[in-house]
Structure 1
Amino acid sequence: MHIDKDLVAASATPLVLGILAEGDLYGYAILKRVAELSGGRMNWNDGMLYPLLHRLERLGHVSSSWEVAETGRRRKHYSLTPAGRAALAERRAQWGVVVDALQRVWQSGPGPAPAGAWA
């Protein structure tokens, strides 16, 4: 399934903030988590993730630090800051309104619900 780029862009920030709320991760692990959470239907690339992480860092929502993995390779790990937790809470509230409205319109509208629509 192809997911429209506007929908991907709109959901990227709350998705990354939510993933980092689970714990600190480095870029490749974030990409893997996105794919895992979407059942493989969302496959982001570096070119999408790193500009987002840098923007979140500039906004103070994410902090980063270099760490050395067991393999000896240096990786930049990203952490959610208190401001990032507040931003995540706000995004969750906003998306709750959107999801609720979509559920209502799809349940009341004519015809079958789109594939993957919420029950």
Structure 2
Amino acid sequence: MKIKISADLLDGLVLALLERKDYYGYALTQDMQAVIEISESTMYPVLRRLQKNNYLTTYDQPFQGRNRRYYRIAPAGTQHLEQIRKMWVNYKVSLDNILLGEAKGKHYG
């Protein structure tokens, strides 16, 4: 069984990796695949959307006679990542309350 990941969470995961270092697309996809199931055909539209929203920037760097496009988190991306982290904490607490029975004094159902 696979749990579907929302676009917001996927954006947060990408931005969190880019916060650590710049990546070219294939390497970023590989590191994401170590944690979640994601294909390159899914990753590149995410990167384009983040770039369109000014959350990341790109630059090209030569590698073995070709150019690699690298992605770097932008200041707006860092701010957006912080918002996603706050939403994640609230969401996780809410889910834990239900899934793990951590709600105190609350009755469900």
Smaller-chain TM-score range? Answer: 0.7 to 0.9
TM-score by length of 1: 0.78
Q: CA RMSD in A?
A: 1.6
Structure 1 residue runs of 5 or longer lacking an equivalent are 110-119
Identity of aligned residues (%): 27
Pick 1 or 2: higher relative contact order, CA cutoff 8 A, min separation 6.
2
* CA–CA separation in structure 2 for the residues paired with 1:106 and 1:54: 35
Q: Is 88-97 or 27-36 further displaced after alignment? A: 27-36
Query: How much does 1:72 deviate?
Result: 2.9
Which 4+ stretches in 1 moved above 6 angstroms? none
* CA–CA separation in structure 2 for the residues paired with 1:43 and 1:74: 27
Q: Which residue does 1:106 correspond to in 2?
A: 99
Query: How much does 1:3 deviate?
Result: 3.2
1:21 is matched by which residue type in structure 2?
E
Q: Superposition pairs for residues 49-68 of structure 1, below 5 Å? A: 49-68=43-62
Give the length in aligned residue pairs.
Answer: 102
Q: Superposition pairs for residues 27-106 of structure 1, below 5 Å? A: 27-36=25-34, 38=35, 42-69=36-63, 71-106=64-99
2:25 is matched by which residue type in structure 1?
G
Structure-2 change in CA distance of 1:59 and 1:9 (3 Å)? closer
TM-score by length of 2: 0.84
Structure-2 change in CA distance of 1:21 and 1:103 (3 Å)? same
* CA–CA separation in structure 2 for the residues paired with 1:10 and 1:62: 15
Structure 2 residue runs of 5 or longer lacking an equivalent are 103-109
Asked if the contact 2:8–2:84 (Cα under 8 Å) also holds between the matched residues in 1, the reply is no
